[in-house]
Amino acid sequence: MSKHSADRSQSATNSTPRHGWWRDAVIYQIYPRSFADSNADGMGDLEGIRARLGYLRDLGVDAVWLSPFYASPQADAGYDVADYRTVDPMFGSLRDADALVRRSHELGLRVIVDLVPNHSSDKHDWFRRALEEGPGSPMRERYWFRDGRGRDGELPPNDWESVFGGSAWSRVPDGQWYLHLFAAEQPDFNWEHPAVADEFRTVLRFWLDIGVDGFRVDVAHGLVKAHGLPDVGSTDQVSMLGNKPMPFFDQEGVHEIYRGWRRILEEYSGDRVLVAEAWTPSLERTALYVRPDEMHQAFNFQYLTTYWDAAELREIIDLSLGSMRPVGATTTWVLSNHDVTRHTTRYANPPGLGVQLRTAGEVELGFRRARAASLLMLALPGSAYVYQGEELGLPDVVDLPDEARQDPSFFRADGQEGFRDGCRVPLPWTVDGPSYGFGAGAGWLPQPSDWGKFSVQAQLGAPGSTLELYRTALRIRKEHPALGAGDSVQWLESPAGVLAFRRLAGPREAFVCTANTTGAPVRVPAEGEVLLTSDGSGIDVADGLAEIPADVTVWWTQR
């Protein structure tokens, strides 16, 4: 490791003890396309991010995670990588990436970047050469090229389906088929080939030497496929969240890959981290990715997909904490990201109905529940991930015109909603302007006409705004050691539909969180001094009982 890389990483750690900063960190996900546009081309970029880092510092987060900005044809918004060591010109240059990392560290923010090791772009040099060199060539061995079934090889090699719909196999002119678990422009690497493993070891070191503090690993559960590529026997893609591993997901061989990556990170100073995006059948399976010699964290998708219901939330919180405790890992909590409907919109609909246009009352209900869910999440022990714009209370944009959509799942097969576009609409920074401060012109996805009311300008300093709620909550979280730290909660007795738990901050102080998930006010024991409420209201207390409004979370301190 170069002295340069050691110095770079240390710049973000001078004021923080090196004992696992990520364990109780709040990490802010930036979707570069939609954060800030510095050059008026309608696309967010690295310079736009760098210019707004002060906002994130003042928000109170500890780190930023950047979705892909590598060279890419953008068939899947950058998750189809053509060159892992180059910044796509639409986002800037390597010099811009270096400047972004440096400025983040100057502000005390760490930087996690996305890594996409399951598949490349079909424009990647390896894949282009594989097509040119034909069947049996060494380059084809780095992907999953196979002959088809049927009399003339006209059928796919097996029955696997793409996550985006349709077959997971595409045929090339010479008659062979190649595997892509996502879009056809994203051919899967063959991780049984040593050149693939060698390539990603060098990619890790390349970005670590630039100074990044870690990697979020895309499709971490998908790199290794079952030997022989057997048929699934079912085309139900929900099976990836079912009760057993599938031949294309969550195979045991992935763990040896991550043990090797962990050793590379430990060559570098500054507590570099690996974060798994691993959709597994259970939290117990997820825990296998964060054993002491593998990754440091894994996304808690089971929590993300839990509805706003006290009993369901308590069950998944207990299961999450209990599953991670045996491997010594902290739990992560997340409510939204670039691949799911924003929780402001999800909570406005009954579970299972998906994204729908709603009445004004339903919109307000989703808004209240989202704020309450955010305070609940930030009170739990472990690390919290915040998706850009959730601190503004942004809803999904559910009525985008078909001609504006860019999510490949929208075009892949009948029945695909293309729902991911709705959570990727560019952020509003100002109350007016051609793109509400996102850039000097229109953004790559159209913004609603009322987007300005959600803007940073409209909310900054405004009492009761969602932005000020997040700023206050993150400040309190840093001030009170019971928040975030540890690996357990002490549940308190509470009425049906209410969650209440205590976190100990030391021998003389405790913290209590009370979340009312019902649609009506409830009376509960007053748990001390009110620190914060999700709706900004005061709490009426009489005879030792407090009335908690519907869909509201309260933070208390006890001394």
- Per the CB < 8 A criterion, the answer to whether 116 and 79 are in contact is yes
Closest CA to 51 of 429, 339, 536, 381: 429
Edge to edge, the sheet with strand 145-146 lists 145-146, 177-179, 169-171
Taking phi first (over 0 means left), then psi (-120 to 50 degrees means alpha), and beta for anything else, what does residue 472 get?
alpha
Q: Active site includes 267?
A: yes
Q: How far is residue 540 from each of residues 371, 521, 546, 554, measured CA to CA in Å?
A: 20, 11, 6, 12
Q: How far apart are CA 183 and CA 165, in angstroms?
A: 9
Torsion 461-465-467-469 (CA) sign = positive
Burial of 525 (0-12, 13-18, 19+ CB in 10 A): middle
At a CB cut-off of 8 Å and minimum separation 6, what does 546 contact?
A: 523, 524, 525, 526, 527, 539, 540, 554
* Candidate list 96, 218, 390, 407, residue with the active-site label: 218
Whole-number Cα distances in Å, 352 to 349, 424, 460: 8, 22, 35
Residue tagged active-site, from 266, 267, 399, 432: 267
User: Which of helix, strand or coil describes residue 501?
Assistant: strand
Please work out, in degrees rounded to the nearest 5, the angle formed at the alpha carbon of residue 234 by the alpha carbons of 231 and 238: 120
Confirm whether 391 is a catalytic residue.
Answer: no
Q: Which two tokens stand for residue 81?
A: 């990588």
Residues forming the active site: 218, 267
